[in-house]
Amino acid sequence: MHRPSAIILVLFAPALASAQEEGGVVTLTRAMAIQRVLDENPELRANQADVVIAQARTKQVDAAKYPSIDVTVGVASSLAARNSDPDENGVRSERASYGEFDIGQLRPAFLGRLTAIQPIHTFGKIGLREEAADAALEAARAQGRIGAADVLVQVAMLYESHLYAKDILFFVKDIKSVAGRSIEETEARLEVGAFDVTPQDLLRLKTALGAAILIENFAQAAISQTAEGLRAYLAYPPGTRIQTQEDYLDPVNDEPTALEGLIALARDQRPELVALAQGIKAYDKLADAEYADWFPNIFALGFVSGAWTPDRDQQQSRFVVDPLNHFVAGALVGAQWKIQWDTATHRAAEIRAEAFRLQQLEAWASTGLPAEVNRYHREVVRARADVEQLKITLPVTQEWVVRASADYAAGFDDSRGVTDAVAAFVTMKNNQLDAVYRLNLNLAELAKATGTLGRPQASLYPGE
């Protein structure tokens, strides 16, 4: 008896604990399952942190274009200080400050300083880093799509395996019915001593029935396992029972697609290529920004400084500024260099080396992409051809089972005719389910290879 090989794959799916009876029931289609994963899967939501980090970096670079403001305020202690009265000649003189120190003359001093620096021209240090940050943000988004596609393929595998197992149960019931009737007829004929049946016929039929029950047990376990795997991937709470809207495993897409069009779609949509291209751009811009450290920063600076101490006169001299009692404002335009020998050149070279690494990976990805698309495209073509052939072969095999069962019941054939027909039917039915399973799963893989899985362009899978 040929065991359904595709269902074995579900044994490697995560979170395959038995579904609990309590909890709500959720009915899904393929499209609903995929959308739910994109919205709620914890792994994919965690990956969004990389996008948030990249967005924060773009905002940090953008903030560098605006004034940098430094504000300092404080409270200190100071001595009271008053200008002396004019002498008889009308000349004012300063009383000694610290030579006549008296703790009773201490006063609080309130100080404040505000400095604002506005970049005017940085020779690309800000603009290039802004472009690098924008490219890095796009790369992070593409990286998120890569992770999402991997998870979606696993969900597609679980969904198709679940339908595979459900479909097996339907045809195993037919096999059990045929085998059961044949066993009853054989036992009845053995009891009356019919010459055209033997105990070996009974044993052969019971063996066929036992094999069908084993497949039934396997399919029931797979249904429970895949449902629980879907629950885990779709982030439903424990106890939620998952069921599919479909009862049978049918092809999700019957429309053939030209290989050339799929390759072109992959070159445009594949997130790996987008991530590499944007990563290269980010490194190139960042290297240019590092090299720009050879040039100065042109800036405008404005400042306001003030201090006030009670019982302390403000000096009116342009040559003296009392740090504890004054108000001063000013502005200037200047240039600032920070050159550490040829460090800027070597930093730029280091970053360009990272860009070169990504360029080689991009070249390799571009070269291998058509081969990957071709692989899954050929598997889809093969599976479709198998499905069409089995539309012809399976009804023939079903007729064989019916005729063999009728001939055995009429005494025209022995039990080998029934068991051979049943075995052939099980093989052909499993081949048919396997072909549809391969078709649907390879359509999901093809959608991943073209970068459309889980996106609005997802006409390949789920095909809704």
pLDDT for position 408: 76
Helix, strand, coil shares of the chain as percentages rounded to 5?
A: 60, 15, 25
pLDDT of residue 80: 78
Q: What is the pLDDT of residue 257?
A: 78
3 state DSSP class of 76? strand
Q: What's the rounded Cα separation, in Å, for the pair 451 and 446?
A: 8
CA atoms within 13 A on the CB side of 290: 19
d(CA 86, CA 17): 98
Q: In the prediction, which pLDDT does 99 show?
A: 56
Helix 259-269 × helix 415-449 angle, to 10° = 50
**pLDDT of the residue at 19:** 33
As a dihedral over the C-alpha atoms of residue 279, residue 284, residue 290, residue 294, rounded to 10 degrees, the angle is -170
d(Cα 226, Cα 242) in Å, to the nearest integer? 9
Beta bridge partners of 332: 301
Q: Which two tokens stand for residue 48?
A: 């969004």
Looking only at Cα atoms, what is the longest distance across the chain? 156
> Which 8-state DSSP code applies to residue 103?
G
Residue 455 has a pLDDT of 81
| Tens digit of each residue's pLDDT, the chain (464 residues) | 334 444 333 333 333 333 333 458 999 999 999 999 999 988 888 888 989 999 998 999 899 889 999 999 999 888 777 776 555 544 444 555 455 556 777 889 999 999 999 999 989 888 999 999 999 999 999 988 888 999 999 999 999 999 999 999 888 888 888 888 888 888 887 888 777 778 887 888 888 888 889 988 999 999 999 999 999 999 999 989 999 998 889 998 877 778 898 999 888 888 989 999 999 999 999 899 888 888 899 999 999 999 998 888 888 777 888 888 899 999 999 998 887 888 888 888 988 898 898 889 888 888 889 999 999 999 999 999 999 999 999 899 888 888 888 877 777 777 787 788 888 888 898 899 999 999 999 999 999 999 988 887 667 888 76
* Distances, alpha carbon 317 to alpha carbons 225, 326, 442, in Å: 89, 11, 87
Tell me the two tokens of residue 217: 């047990």
Write down the pLDDT at residue 86: 52
Does residue 178 contact residue 422 with C-beta atoms inside 8 Å?
Answer: yes
Q: What is the pLDDT of residue 439?
A: 95
Q: How far is CA 203 from CA 116, 167, 195, in A?
A: 96, 28, 16
Residue 218: Cβ within 10 Å count: 17
How high is the pLDDT of residue 302? 95
Classify residue 267 as exposed, middle or buried by CB count within 10 Å of its CB (0-12, 13-18, 19+): middle
Closest CA to 435 of 380, 377, 397: 380
